[in-house]
Amino acid sequence: MSEVVVKMEGISKSFAGIKALDHVQIELCKGEVHALMGENGAGKSTLMKIMTGVYTKDEGFMYLRDEINGEMRQIEIKSPLMAQKLGLSMVFQELNLLENMNIGENIFIGREPVGTATMIDKKVLNEKAKKELEKVKLDINPSTSVSSLSCGQKQCVEIAKALSFDARVVVFDEPTASLSETESRTLFEIIRELRNKGVCIVYISHRMEEVFELSDRITVFRNGTYIDTVETSKVSEADLIKMMIGRDLEEGKKKGSAYINKQKTVLSVRNVTIFPNSSPISFELHEKEILGFFGLVGAGRTELSRAIFGIDPIGEGEIYIQGSKVHINCPRDAMDVGIGLVPEDRKGLGLILGMSIKDNMLLSKLGQLKSRILNKKVLKEITGTYIDDLGIVLRDENQEVKELSGGNQQKVVIAKWLAMTPDILILDEPTRGIDVGAKSEIYTLMRKLTEAGKSIIMISSEMAEIQKVSDRVIVMHEGNITGELSIEEATKNSIMQAAFGGIKA
């Protein structure tokens, strides 16, 4: 094993009296990809935020190898800036860019190049930013406003910013959650280049495939405690799951599409055009069906869901619910005809971070209740059920959502829509950032919903998820439908072929 760069031991941290970390440890080496794994709320982000100066620890010690004399030196990280100067950088799970500033300004915020008369030298800033963007292979003008970027592009800017510090350790917290397949590939290349240069990468992810592909070692946390550190090549996926959840994973109920009511079309989308130059698309969703939508970046799946839900206009197209034509001009209209949407961008569309967990969950429900007088007991039952079913880790339901771990925030978004019990539920990347245990809980819940008569559209970029959960798969490419596959036909090859534009439907 190569040289240790950072060592943390006996680290504890509590929030409002609740222990998020209980005497945990980690050792990070030069030139390794070190995966950090564990269920939602296990304390992964918290430990890394302590290392990078965002939070202060309550207990424990941190040591950093001195670059000059090579000795391990105890250190107290007092601020993010101090961490960055020492070469400890982090790409956060939730995007943190300032929307009203441009890309270059975001990358160099607080350390802008100064020209004459202490004015920021915009030209130099742009040139420097361009170089940083090249490193992450993002070909966009640095003076572009961040607000006009896609989720994936924003993530790339965050990464460029983290790398711009010449880091010795770079933490990626769920980086691929908002990246497309192609963007993820680029990120993996960047990570391998960094590792070859001797940088240590901490890679936090719930995606097993990525962890096995990329990492050299894996540290597992469970419930705020340290479980073990193992070499990736010496551990199986099943062992790892057991370390994370403390038991074997029960395989979710096998798919049985026999009960789908193919005679009954609940939603029919006709001639909706996604992009100005794409052909109009049409498809139908049957009662009790889970219809999977797969595609690469820019395939238009999110745009399609936004059109159906009334966020964006549908132009010439038509939407029929249970055979009758409906006019959906805004999300309220969509909700009125029984459509719910769990959006891809949970921070922007899904949650009000400053509001409590309970209020967030009941947000969409409240509009539905006939009486304005709320029956506290009924409401409590609703929130309680979903908190239990989804296993949301929280202190109490009146806590603000922003205090929850990333994966638990996502579960609140899902609970919010489940509480509304829409007939048609559109889930856009429903398990992004969600741990293996909870993923299978969500699949089981989706199954339960369809068995109870609901219908689901699931948009996912995870091949394994599409194959495991869908009853039928529609593949999109550049705004067109390029494949419609029964679950038997939906092999990895046929799906990918269609995703690259292969067959036109």
Ligand X SMILES: Nc1ncnc2c1ncn2[C@@H]1O[C@H](COP(=O)(O)OP(=O)(O)OP(=O)(O)O)[C@@H](O)[C@H]1O
Interacting residue ranges for ligand X, rule: CB under 6 A: 15, 20, 38, 40-46, 93, 393, 403-408, 435
Q: Taking the CA of residue 451 as centre, how many other CA atoms within 13 Å lie in the half-sphere pointing to its CB?
A: 10
Residues of span 91-150 touching Mg ion by CB under 5 A: 93
Rg of the chain taking only CA atoms, in angstroms:
24
Collapsing DSSP to helix, strand or coil, 67 comes out as coil
DSSP state at residue 1: -
- Whole-angstrom CA distances from 198 to 92, 143, 152, 205, 429 are 22, 32, 26, 21, 34
* Binder of residue 43, out of ligand X, Mg ion, none (CB less than 5 to 8 A by kind): ligand X
Residue with Cβ nearer ligand X (129 or 387) = 387
Minimum distance from residue 34 beta carbon to Mg ion (Å) = 16
Residue with Cβ nearer ligand X (51 or 308) = 51
* Binder of residue 207, out of ligand X, Mg ion, none (CB less than 5 to 8 A by kind): none
* Binder of residue 15, out of ligand X, Mg ion, none (CB less than 5 to 8 A by kind): ligand X
Q: Taking the CA of residue 426 as centre, how many other CA atoms within 13 Å lie in the half-sphere pointing to its CB?
A: 25
Collapsing DSSP to helix, strand or coil, 87 comes out as coil
Cα gap 303→186, rounded to integer Å: 24
Task: From 3-11, 43-51, 116-124, 233-241, give the range in contact with Mg ion by CB under 5 A.
Answer: 43-51
**Residue, CB closest to ligand X:** 407
Residue with Cβ nearer ligand X (51 or 267) = 51
Minimum distance from residue 482 beta carbon to ligand X (Å) = 34
* Binder of residue 175, out of Mg ion, ligand X, none (CB less than 5 to 8 A by kind): none
Among 53, 142, 224, 406, binds Mg ion (CB under 5 A): 406
Among 29, 30, 32, 45, binds Mg ion (CB under 5 A): 45
* Binder of residue 455, out of ligand X, Mg ion, none (CB less than 5 to 8 A by kind): none
Cα gap 38→24, rounded to integer Å: 13
DSSP one-letter string for 114-176? B-GGG-B-HHHHHHHHHHHHHHTT--S-TTSBGGGS-HHHHHHHHHHHHHTT--SEEEEESGG
Minimum distance from residue 406 beta carbon to ligand X (Å) = 4
* Binder of residue 403, out of ligand X, Mg ion, none (CB less than 5 to 8 A by kind): ligand X
Footprint on this chain of Mg ion (rule: CB under 5 A): 45, 93, 405-406
